[in-house]
Amino acid sequence: MKVAVFRPDDERLDEAVDLLESLGADPVPDPMLAVRPTDNAPQHAEYVVLTSKTGVELAHEAGWSPDGATVCAIGERTAATLREYGYDVDIVPDEFSSRGLVATLADRVDGKSVEVARSDHGSEVLTDGLADAGADVHETVLYELVRPGGSGRSAELAADGDLDAALFTSSLTVYHFLDAAEERGIRAEAVDGLEDATVGAIGDPTHDTASELDIRVDVVPETASFDRLAREAVERITDGGDEAEV
């Protein structure tokens, strides 16, 4: 049961491989994201939004201090990292997504300044949603996400019909998977190969991106976490689930 995972080549990939092995799968680690820091720090605002563990780490390295801001984190992992570095976390939305944070802040930020500190590929759902709620929104790019050289083993396996599942953890992993396949001249074959595999997307934005690019998605967990994504995908494979799109 070969399952491709596209997490960055750090502890997140190690944890993903360990989890898949514990579920009886044969992981295919194929990092599709690498972090390129910009050395920027979040700017001062009444509300500061951090969206990832990586963003928190880089903000801390850049010497960021909240200076009385209301600190918002998307996801428990981001919140936990903030606390590890000694920052107070004021708001974590129940839904770990840009939409979830917009819904949480919509009635609080009218006329307020909001700093969004994240990667160069952050969703406009967050910034546009906060602006529509009346906030004065500023965005700082803490890091760029690029495709590592040599990525694409999973695309080759998919093209050969040897991949049982692919677990996409962001829209960018979808784009980079297809870019790696295109680089090898096997894009159409790789997409066709995914038709015979179980395809998982960590959340609705990733699902939508995959669907727009003609990749059928079978699994979208209610909770946007890799743990749930992996477990539901493996369960679908072992239970012989049908091919209906989710």
pLDDT at 244: 30
42 sits in the region (left: phi over 0; alpha: psi -120 to 50; else beta) called beta
**215 and 124 inside one domain:** no
Q: Which residue has the tokens 């001249």?
A: 185
pTM flag (> 0.85): no
Please report the pLDDT score of residue 75 as a whole number: 85
pLDDT of residue 203: 87
- Residue 70: per-residue pLDDT: 97
DSSP, res 214: T
Contact 187, 178 (CB under 8 A): yes
Q: pLDDT digit of tens for each residue in the chain (246 aa)?
A: 999 999 989 888 999 999 999 999 999 999 999 999 999 999 999 999 999 999 999 999 999 999 999 999 998 889 999 999 999 999 999 876 788 899 999 999 999 999 999 999 888 989 999 999 999 999 999 999 999 988 999 999 999 999 999 999 999 999 999 999 999 999 999 999 999 999 999 988 899 999 999 999 999 998 888 999 999 999 999 886 433 322
Q: Contact at 8 Å (CB) between 127 and 120?
A: no
- Are 104 and 132 found together in one domain? yes
Q: How many CB atoms lie within 10 A of CB 39?
A: 9
Q: Which residue, among 50, 78, 15, 33, has the nearest Cα to 170 in the 3D structure?
A: 33
For residue 243, what pLDDT is reported? 36
How far lies 214's CA from each of 71, 175, 194, 211, 225, in Å?
38, 12, 10, 5, 23
**Residue pair 23/48 in contact by the 8 Å Cβ criterion:** no
Which residue range forms the structural domain that includes residue 206? 2-33+148-243
Same-domain status, 23 and 88: no
From 145, 171, 197, the end of a domain falls on 145
Structure tokens belonging to residue 218: 């079978």
Residue 188 sits in the same domain as residue 101:
no
The reply to whether 62 and 100 lie within a common domain is yes
Same domain (yes/no): 126, 185? no
**Structural domain count of the chain:** 2
Other beta carbons within 10 Å of 182: 14
In this prediction, residue 97 carries a pLDDT of 78
Residues 51, 135, single domain; the answer is: yes
Of 145, 168, 193, the domain-final residue: 145
SS3 40: coil
Which of 77, 110, 145 is at the close of a domain?
145
Q: Which residues contact 42 (CB under 8 A, 6 or more apart)?
A: 48, 50, 59, 64, 115, 117, 140, 142
CATH number for the domain that contains residue 96: 3.40.50.10090
